[in-house]
Amino acid sequence: MVWGCISHDCKLDLVTIRGNLTGDQYMRHVLEPVVVTHFDNHPLATRPVYMDDNARPHRSRAVVDYLQNNAVTTLPWPAMSPDLNPLEHIWDILGRRIQALQPPVQTLCELEAALHREWLQVTREQIRRLTGGMRRRVDAVIRARGGFTRY
């Protein structure tokens, strides 16, 4: 499992977890050490709003309680909605870069190392280009009444 977080102005550390992700692992390896720590030290006057992809571990009762207890506001997101998260495009970029590596990665350890290396190479400009298009993407989904868009 690979977890990453971007905003218009920053990119948090990439987190990799071996095996299937549980709500407990999500809290211990992602939320507590990365998200809440970043939000507690965020330079904005208000805390950022956290957006995830509605995966089952993200919606466990323990995770929801943890986020509330740590004053992390989450973006309400319907379960069966188009995925507008710009991070999906970052995953595509990383996937293409990993596939193009020569020699190709052969083991999970090599894959993990390559993902972390490539994550560091994602530029602020690439992220801003993706986050800057959010209004256009949301407008397209609204016009399509939640149906298919080119995004």
Q: Mean pLDDT, the chain, as a whole number? A: 89
Asked if pLDDT for residue 10 goes beyond 90, the answer is no
Structure tokens at 103: 């020699």
pTM of the model: 0.84
What is the CATH code of the structural domain delimited by 2-143?
3.30.420.10
Give the torsion sign (CA, 84, 16, 1, 75): negative
Rounded-to-integer distance, Cα 144 and Cα 133, Å: 17
pLDDT tens for each residue of 23-52: 999 999 999 999 999 888 877 767 788 988
Task: Identify which of 67-71, 135-139, 145-149 has the greatest average pLDDT.
Answer: 67-71
